[in-house]
Amino acid sequence: MKNKIIYILGGMAVIAIVIVVFISIKQSSADIKPRVNTPSLKTKLQLCPDEWIDNQMPSTDLKKSETQYFIFNGKRRELNEFDVEWIQKNCSLKKQVVY
Q: What pLDDT is attached to residue 68?
A: 93
As a whole number of angstroms, the distance between CA 12 and CA 42 comes to 47
Average pLDDT per 10 consecutive residues for the chain, totaling 99 residues? 81 85 71 52 88 89 81 95 95 91
What was the pLDDT predicted at 9?
81
pTM: 0.53
Rounded to whole angstroms, how far apart are CA atoms 88 and 82? 11
pLDDT given for residue 28 in this prediction:
61
- Residue 48 confidence (pLDDT): 96
Helix (H) / strand (E) element for 6: namely helix 2-31
